Structure 1
């Protein structure tokens, strides 16, 4: 069989604003392994709905692509599922998901129906996808070891640290206040911390200087898609911080989330806690047992470099995909769509219409309107958000003032 020829269909962020974004690191690692890359956002913006579909299929044929990896934001609904199913006749089609715990029921399980393989950053979701007949594997290796690195010259002069928003996930604030009330010297860094935001370079320094790096697994607040799913407030999620900490050779103490033990051996490469009492107990223990703590940190570092450094993990992932590609026999997939997905997919057209109109691309806006008229299911709440975000983006000073006013209320 012919050698694998990969197209990675995704989109990057602005390097000037996020120079160490893990998505960009993953894209670069794929490129280093001879994969082609296209931005679906740029394609859609340039060619519109039908034009993007046509361009992508033509690109696949003209360039001999036999494997397409689709990595999209979990809250985006650019492509029609039936189009992807047709594309699957010509290529081995892989979808890479993010925040699967949050968006599995809302989005991922539907798009997965048109895929040959789905990679997820949530171990539990691999079984949920297999339960509906979708081949799935866990994958969480996006970190460049030349950027997330160990610095043995820095003294461990911070007892406990946490980097992130204090109110960005369930339980963070209460856990940290519990530690402070019990005499633990903890330093926090983030937009709502006294130390404020820090640069990437400072972040790596803080991780290296910390005896204990905390990782909380509670999910963030509601989004436009999840606002009706109150049960999600109970959810625990594996965070990227555990990989950042271990890549820097520093000790990670993580709030448990199901599947964490799949990525690291608990008690030997990282350690975990389940509640604030156990958190306090383990912090006191590991502050008093430096040799054991640093031994665990070293083992975690070795595991992270071996399995999760993007420059090593990407060739392994490609090998797995290629093995599955070579044994693929195409069988049509029955596509099932429920009302919530259809409503979200249709409502997303309004965001695209706003963008096309502001660029005077009225033909493309009309294409999106035709889709809305076909399904006739819209979510007014999301539409209001789209208008606020897209229109106010044209007037950044007004947007900044309004956000400041609403924060005070």
Structure 2
């Protein structure tokens, strides 16, 4: 079993990261899981990097898993140093490549032995760059246990209702006499717990899934559709999924035997009417989807797929190319942290950011009128919030 470090941008409790980590723990010797944002913001760049290097050496780490988000914290040349100094494997993991492939993910992915994606639709983008990739997502059977409850809800949707064109679909169904049970951000019920989400799935005959993404960075992103983890989650619970189509979803489930899809409002309405009149058909598909989900997306089995892909790799072409767009974004983040560290008195950490700024050579006017003020604002805002908490606490005494 690999001695492994799992290094993630965040380690939120009761998240899909928790699901992933449980699969990792079951199949390797997990030395430590590290929230790199928290460690970096507390101690700075040099401390963070030295900590990782020391841990690799002391614990004879053989596998590093970097779950990299949009934070622009990890230095690509730090990953280069790891590869040059240690005989180990690096897996880079990306959850939102539909948004971040061009600006972020393809640059970090080039430094790894294997890239782990959570959806099949973007895998071919990485393959174009000669990057070894695998897609899978794991769900913990203890958090998503299958149960048989009375199907008292015809149709439900759980998720942010204001994203993409979801509300248009819901309104269209309502206009045609179809009531949809809603929960999630922007709905009357609002955000709910994992247990409450599970209960809705157990009780629903049809669970809707939408694939349009939310990204206002570029207008063209309004066209992007991406199958994510919701159909897998529903299927782990034993529910039936009726999903908006997006490229790659047929790699996730058989769209004839395990789930079903729709392309527009009229087809959605037609299929809802069909399944409500043919409940045996949706029950059969839900059972087939559950079998597939447990076999491939249960967290232990999912991570075994990653390890199998890692073992089969015969050639790795690691490079460390950066372009101006990446360097400017990375430098922008350095100015932000330089300012934060300076204000809180972490002078060494602030100086380390300056050295990195000089190394990347991509200073712009925006660094001075936006990034520095942003750093000041975030420190002061945090102090104001902290002071209010102290005052409120004292008032209760």
Alignment partner, residue 377 of structure 1: 363
Q: How far did 1:9 drift?
A: 1.7
Distance 1:100 1:139 in 2: 14
* Alignment correspondent of 1:405: none
Deviation per CA, 1:223-254: give whole Å up to 9, x if none. Answer: xxxx2x22111100112211111111011011
What is the aligned partner in structure 1 of residue 391 from structure 2?
Answer: none
How far apart, in 1, do the equivalents of 2:22 and 2:343 lie?
Answer: 32
Distance change (3 Å), C-alpha of 1:151 and 1:354: farther
For residue 395 of structure 1, give the secondary structure of its aligned residue in structure 2: helix
CA distance in 1, matches of 2:358, 2:155: 55
Q: Whole-Å Cα distance in 2 between the matches of residues 108 and 369 of structure 1?
A: 24
Specify whether residues 220 and 385 from structure 1 end up closer, same or farther in structure 2 by C-alpha distance, changes over 3 A only. farther
Which residue is equivalent to 1:406?
none
Q: CA RMSD in A?
A: 2.4
Which residue of structure 2 aligns with residue 407 of structure 1?
A: none
Matched with 1:51 is 47
The answer for the alignment partner of 1:268 in structure 2 is: 257
| Matching residue of 1:335 | 320
1:386 Cα offset (Å): 5.6
Matched with 2:78 is 83
- What is residue 349 of structure 2 aligned with on the other side? 364
How far 1:12 sits from its partner (Å)? 4.2
Alignment of 1:178-197 (within 5 A): 178-197=172-191
Q: CA shift at 1:14, angstroms?
A: 4.5
Report the Cα distance in structure 1 between the residues aligned to 2:375 and 2:312, rounded to whole angstroms. 42
Change (3 A) 1:44 1:178: same
Distance 2:198 2:378 in 1: 32
Q: Tell me, what secondary structure is at the counterpart of 1:166?
A: coil
Cα separation, 2, equivalents of 1:85 and 1:231: 34
Instruction: Give ranges in structure 1 of 5+ residues lacking alignment.
Output: 400-409
Question: Corresponding residue for 2:394?
Answer: none
- Asked if 1 retains the 8 angstrom alpha-carbon contact of 2:117 and 2:136, the reply is yes
Q: What is the distance in 2 between the residues matched to 1:277 and 1:382?
A: 46
- For 2:126 and 2:50, locate their aligned partners in 1 and report how far apart those are by CA, in whole Å: 29
Structure 1 segments, 4+ long, off by >4 Å, are 378-382, 384-390
Q: Confirm whether residue 147 of structure 1 aligns to residue 143 of structure 2.
A: yes
1:350 to 335, 343, 352: 335
Matched, 1:251 2:236: no
Q: Which moved more, 1:363-372 or 1:203-212?
A: 363-372
Unpaired runs of at least 5, structure 2:
389-397
Q: Cα 1:247–1:387, aligned 2, differ >3 Å: closer, same or farther?
A: farther
Query: Are positions 1:22 and 2:11 aligned together?
Result: no
**Paired residues, number:** 381
Equivalent of residue 198 in structure 2, options 204, 219, 225: 204
Instruction: State the shift of 1:160 in Å.
Output: 0.8
Question: 1:103-140: per-residue Cα shift (whole Å, max 9, x none)?
Answer: 00010011111111111123242222121121111122
Instruction: After TM superposition, give the deviation of residue 372 of structure 1 in Å.
Output: 2.5
The answer on whether the counterparts of 2:158 and 2:184 sit within 8 Å (CA) in structure 1 is yes
Which of 4, 7, 12 is equivalent to 2:5? 7
**Cα offset for 1:395?**
2.9
CA distance in 2, matches of 1:377, 1:123: 37
> What's the counterpart of residue 310 of structure 1?
299
Q: Take 1:178 and 1:397, find their aligned partners in 2: how far apart are those partners?
A: 45
Paired position in structure 2 for 1:284: 273
Instruction: Give the match's secondary structure for 1:114.
Output: coil
